[in-house]
A and B are shown apart, each in its own frame.
Chain A
Amino acid sequence: NAGVTQTPKFQVLKTGQSMTLQCAQDMNHEYMSWYRQDPGMGLRLIHYSVGAGITDQGEVPNGYNVSRSTTEDFPLRLLSAAPSQTSVYFCASSTRTDFVSRTQYFGPGTRLLVL
């Protein structure tokens, strides 16, 4: 199993550009999430999904869109990039059962720089 994969690893954007960060998992996990990590602020939840066709907002959803058309994929779209969106983005997935560890598996991250 590849686990959670993310592409690209690094991206530079100009202000106002749009792009999609890709995330895929091959563990058949129902739950997937997007976090951003900024220095001194830990990881903050952007959007999450509890299954195909179901998404919801996290703590910092403004400027981002998500969709979940399949169990495997959970892309994050930046509509109009701003310098404040410069960050490291992590995708994560986990299983939904309450009877086993709710371990959340993280992808390797995408480092985004908005100029």
Chain B
Amino acid sequence: GENVEQHPSTLSVQEGDSAVIKCTYSDSASNYFPWYKQELGKRPQLIIDIRSNVGEKKDQRIAVTLNKTAKHFSLHITETQPEDSAVYFCAATPGTASKLTFGTGTRLQVTL
């Protein structure tokens, strides 16, 4: 089955700096890669996703890049703000969204 590795496990940045979180996957058939944000005590919420036929996708301060050949994808957050502090999870699936394999998460802390 699919295996997703996520790095780093913790990341501390100053407000206004950029943050990058990286994930690698093992199943070359995976074709959908979502990123979820989970605030303390809350449910995970989708922030951005990318499909295998696209190399990059942006949504305001958030962007995701995908390298199918190397089987890795990354989340980029620019101009970080304190409200970006949360745990971020990457995921991958070769099929339906009902069968996501998640990374182990990155705890992002944005300091003032």
Interface secondary structure of B, over-half rule: mixed
A-B contact count (CB 8 A): 64
Q: A109 touching B43 by the CB < 8 A rule?
A: yes
* Bound-complex Cα distance A90 to B75 (A): 23
Q: B98 touching A32 by the CB < 8 A rule?
A: yes
Of the listed stretches B13-21, B63-71, B77-85, B99-107, name the one at the interface; the rest are far from the partner chain.
B99-107
Q: B43 touching A94 by the CB < 8 A rule?
A: no
Whether, in the assembled complex, B44 has its beta carbon less than 8 Å from a beta carbon of chain A, the answer is yes
Chain A residues, Cβ within 8 Å of B6? 42
Q: Contacts A43-B89, A94-B96, A94-B97 given: A106-B45 contact, CB under 8 Å?
A: yes
Contact partner of B102 among A31, A42, A101, A103, CB < 8 A?
A: A42
* Bound-complex Cα distance A49 to B64 (A): 29
Q: B98 touching A104 by the CB < 8 A rule?
A: yes
Chain A residues, Cβ within 8 Å of B1? 59
Q: B102 touching A44 by the CB < 8 A rule?
A: yes
Contact partner of B98 among A41, A49, A107, CB < 8 A?
A: A49
A residues with CB within 8 A of B? 31-33, 35, 40-45, 48-50, 58-59, 90, 92, 94, 96, 101-104, 106-109
B residues with CB within 8 A of A? 1, 6, 9, 32, 34, 42-46, 49, 89, 93, 96-105
